[in-house]
Amino acid sequence: MKMKRICFGFLICLVCLQGFSQSAKPPKEKKHRFSFYTGIGPSYFFNNLVSSKNEVNPWGYSIIGRIMWEPPFNLSLGVETGYLRLYTVNYSQPVSAHVSNSLIPIQLVVSMKFLKNYYGNFAMGQSVLLNKAEAQGYGNFDASNFSLGDFSATLGYKHKYPNRVSIGAEAKFYLSTGYNNATVSILAMVGYNF
């Protein structure tokens, strides 16, 4: 009977020590699973126009914003939007005029990380095509249209800092099937993990 009490007391001491040791551990670091990325950079339009092909300025710019859910795996999911200036055209004859074509994408993104700091994105969705024309003496003519099947592919590099900020660069190819518009962009990126 005495031996049972000693064993019982010893077992209670072990349980108490286990409880104290677990409560003495530092709290686990909070995992930040969502990130916001934004970027800006130049873009080049692959000129597919038939009329006024020689007057087209294919250089534009791209601005993007992306919210990603990043679990501890190599795959991430998110949503991307932005503004892409596809091209501009300036006419001097017979009337002074300026035409610009842009698009606003809304896409679902799947991202895959490979190596340590490199990743690739594939996105698909819709975009709003914006066409603005200004002719001297005739006013402004603005039109918009939806492109229902747009795609983009991205290859990127990012370096994460301990304060949840990351910087990097991306090369992005974008295909808008509405009028078969294609661009390639080089973007400087900044991200924040929250």
| For range 119-137, the mean pLDDT | 94
Q: Is 33 helix (H, G, I), strand (E, B) or coil?
A: coil
What pLDDT score does 165 carry? 96
Domains along the chain with CATH numbers: 32-193 (2.40.160.20)
pTM here is 0.79
Phi-psi map region of 53: left, alpha, beta (phi>0 left; psi -120 to 50 alpha): alpha
What is the percent of the chain where pLDDT is above 70? 85
Place of tokens 């983009």: 152
The span from the CA of 171 to the CA of 173, in Å, is 7
